[in-house]
Amino acid sequence: MPTPRALVRAAAVRLDDAAIDSPDHDAAELLAFVLGTSRSRLALVEEVGPEDEARFAELVERRAARVPLQHLTGAAAFRHAELAVGPGVFVPRPETELLAGWAVERAAEVARVAGRAPVVVDLCTGSGAIALSVATELPGAEVHAVELDPQAVQWAVRNLAGSGVDLREGDMAEAFPDLDGAVDVVVCNPPYIPLTAYDGVAPEARDHDPELALWSGDDGLDAIRVLERVGARLLRSGGHLGCEHADLQGETAPQVFVASGRWTDVRDHRDLAGRPRYLTARLPR
């Protein structure tokens, strides 16, 4: 019977041939999933039985066909949480963890300075990743989330169960009229891919993530324009807004907020790879 090391090595070659960005990582993750263990503990497994080997080979072929790794394992790590994901919901990316961390920090600042529970709204919540991060990392925060896609809502319901997050189904454009002028932090990872960029999008996203989570008009800014208006409606004076965008929108996305004349402290922030990744802005006091 083969060893885990031999199986992972052969699978990594197959995934590399299929142009998978992280073949060694994905091969090890898939084998660990099949064996019910973790990547770090694979070395403790001496041999892999025939049934597990066959199941692993099947998953490797599906990954080589560009099915997202997270759809195959049913889970995605995000900051300090593990989210259930699969067909019908956008798989949260590591880059978004920075935006979630920003939201946690701003909400914690409100709690410290104002001496009360901060009110946070996560628009386009998808799997619930950002809302869950705020709710679990800052107990006592009042967290609200909204998602338009009915399938994604079901995943968010599962991930946010027991978290205390107020989850609603609907369009962010009309969301939370009951919170107008009462929110401290608005955070959003909206759709932002231009329709003209279809051919350049990785198959994992283009063919498996929901269309509502990807495309946003010819320039990719349609949802961000809506967010600018919604954020101005929801936030109290001095409130904070954070929004992820594509790496090519480091100037155009912030300009949406600058051009409206409603915001101050409009800034753009880079991810760990040095690429423009999210903007922040604040309503004047």
Candidate from 32-46, 120-134, 176-190, 242-256 with smallest mean pLDDT: 32-46
What is the per-residue pLDDT for 217?
A: 81
Cα–Cα distance between 173 and 216 in angstroms, integer?
14
**Residues 67-105 pLDDT 10s:** 999 999 999 999 999 999 999 999 999 999 999 999 999
Binding-site residues from annotation: 147, 189-192
Mean pLDDT of 198-221: 79
pLDDT tens profile 216-275: 788 999 999 999 999 999 999 999 999 999 999 999 999 999 999 999 999 999 998 999
* pLDDT(160) > 90: yes
Bigger pLDDT: 212 or 249?
Answer: 249
Domains of the chain (ranges, CATH numbers): 4-65 (1.10.8.10), 89-282 (3.40.50.150)
Among the listed residues 99, 129, 97, the one whose alpha carbon sits nearest the alpha carbon of residue 242: 99
At CB < 8 A and 24+ separation, what contacts does 204-210 make?
204/66, 204/67, 204/68, 204/91, 207/66, 208/66, 208/67, 208/68, 208/71, 208/87, 208/91, 209/90, 209/91, 210/88, 210/89, 210/90, 210/149, 210/151, 210/152
What's the confidence (pLDDT) of residue 46?
82
**Global pTM value:** 0.91
| ∠ CA 154-220-179, rounded to 5° | 50
3-class SS at 282? strand
The pLDDT of residue 203: 84
User: What proportion of the chain, given as a percentage, has pLDDT over 90?
Assistant: 83
Where does the pLDDT of residue 194 fall: very low under 50, low under 70, confident under 90, or very high at 90 and above? confident
Return the pLDDT at 205.
79
pLDDT tens for 44-66 read: 888 889 899 999 999 999 999 99
Positions at the binding site for S-adenosyl-L-methionine: 147, 189
Known binding positions for substrate: 189-192
- Asked if residue 166 lies in contact with residue 117, where contact means CB atoms within 8 angstroms, the answer is no
The pLDDT value recorded for residue 23 is 96
Residue 265 C-beta-side C-alpha neighbours within 13 Å: 11
Asked if residue 7 has pLDDT above 80, the reply is: yes
Q: Is the pLDDT of residue 198 over 80?
A: no
Question: For the ranges 50-54, 131-135, 153-157, which has the lowest average pLDDT?
Answer: 50-54
Average model confidence (pLDDT) across the chain: 94
Residue 204's pLDDT band (boundaries 50, 70, 90)?
Answer: confident
Asked if the model's pLDDT at residue 112 lies above 80, the reply is: yes
